[in-house]
Structure 1
Amino acid sequence: MNKHLKYFLKIWLIPAIAGIAIAVFLRGNFFSFVRISGQSMSPNLVNNQIVLLEKKANVSRGTVIVSKTNNLQKQNTGVQDIALRVVALPGDKVNYKKGQLYVNGKKVNQSYISSQVKTETGMSIDTGWSINSLSLSKNWPKSQRNIKKVQKNSYFVLADNRIDPVDSRQYGLIKKRQIEGVVKVFFLGNKNKD
């Protein structure tokens, strides 16, 4: 083998192949880039915005997740994956009254949305509700009907755009297995209001 070819293989080709293999492994198992579809998280995330998704991150209250939609959501919205904010964890009780959201009896600080958005929604139920009253809806899966708190391996999620009822108020709890990952980095590129 000639000296220049050896040099090229050693210095350029082998490291490039190793770098690509590492990137593919990390993307497949730990991180991915996702394009936000729809206005559910507006104004914090908007349609076509690209975000970095951490696949193995812990889910906690306040985090933004990307989740697969259930069959009814997919049928009604045409969206397969949706970004939503986790409001309550397994075992939590959730209710809403007089424009305030409560988890386990404590008022939730929702500084990520405006005062107007907190009280102005497109749903008549938002004058007041509890997880129990929401769970009586025919849109909720039968396995989640008439519950008083968030079930095991499930999460109660809300859209930051509260006028957009594609969240737990309308469609029930998000199952842990539906979660694709936690939004970690918001890229300002491609951020438009289509």
Structure 2
Amino acid sequence: MKSIWSIFKNYIIPIAVGLAIALLIKTYAFSLVKVDGSSMYPNLQNTERVSMIKFLEPKRDNVVVFKAYGVDPRAIDPKILYVKRVIGVPGDTVQYTKSGELLVNNKVVKQDFISKDAQKQGTLQPINKEKTGFDLKSLSKGSEWNSGSVTTVPKGKYFVMGDNREVSNDSRYWGFVPKDKIQGVVKLLPWQNHHEEINR
């Protein structure tokens, strides 16, 4: 009888506690996510695994993971996740000029996490073939948004874009990401490539 209790106390209980702690961490604090696609290239690669911190509040320039189902009309799988960069938080105005400058609340954002070519050619095309620039009002008149003419990011929502602007399927096409869809903020370890561009 004593040996059974000893086994239970020394092995079963520690294993059960360890599994419970691991489950709590995965559910509420931290998990790994696999990047699918090239929308965040060159800062994140297709099939790359990245850390996602679940309790962090999304801020401008953060890279976030969110459930695309119910956000992007073409995302028909309830489990599909998108990885994009936060450009505008609730209350922000977002504007892109024909010269390739991003303005948030009428202030120029450096965007040093992507190339000048991606800032201009990549961002203005294909969403803006005339290369005249855009703002939230002009984007929200598109057929996918169906939300009238908004001029600021609504309360509880975020405007996101991929770093590989030329191919990224993002807020320019389908609108804002509700906060309750965001799963967490991506963070890279110091020795991982492009950690400075991701860990904003």
> How does the TM-score come out when normalised to structure 1?
0.86
State the 1:48 CA deviation: 1.0
CA contact (8 A) 1:123 1:165 kept: no
> What SS is found at the alignment partner of 1:72?
coil
- Residue 41 (structure 2) pairs with residue 42 (structure 1): yes
For 1:82-140, what per-residue CA distance to the aligned partner results, in whole angstroms no more than 9, with x for missing partners? 10000111111110111111100111121111112111224151721111111110011
- Residue 170 (structure 2) pairs with residue 171 (structure 1): no
Range with greater deviation from structure 2 (179-188 or 45-54): 179-188
> What SS is found at the alignment partner of 1:22?
helix
Q: Give aligned-pair identity as a percent.
A: 34
**Structure 1 stretches lacking a partner, 5+ long:** 190-194
- 1:130 equivalent in structure 2: 135
State the 1:179 CA deviation: 0.9
> How does the TM-score come out when normalised to structure 2?
0.83
Q: Please give the alpha-carbon distance, in whole angstroms, between the structure 2 residues aligned to 1:171 and 1:79.
A: 18
Range with greater deviation from structure 2 (27-36 or 7-16): 7-16
Choose between structure 1 and 2 for higher RCO, CA contacts under 8 A separated by at least 6 residues: 1
Q: Please give the alpha-carbon distance, in whole angstroms, between the structure 2 residues aligned to 1:52 and 1:95.
A: 30
- 1:26 equivalent in structure 2: 25
> What SS is found at the alignment partner of 1:73?
coil
Aligned residue identity for 2:86: V
- 1:12 equivalent in structure 2: 11
RMSD of aligned residue pairs (Cα, Å): 2.4
State the 1:188 CA deviation: 5.4
CA contact (8 A) 2:93 2:104 kept: yes
> What SS is found at the alignment partner of 1:41?
coil
- 1:192 equivalent in structure 2: none
| Alpha-carbon distance change, 29 to 101 in structure 1, aligned in 2, over 3 angstroms | same
User: Number of aligned pairs?
Assistant: 185
**Structure 2 stretches lacking a partner, 5+ long:** 194-200
- Residue 87 (structure 2) pairs with residue 87 (structure 1): yes
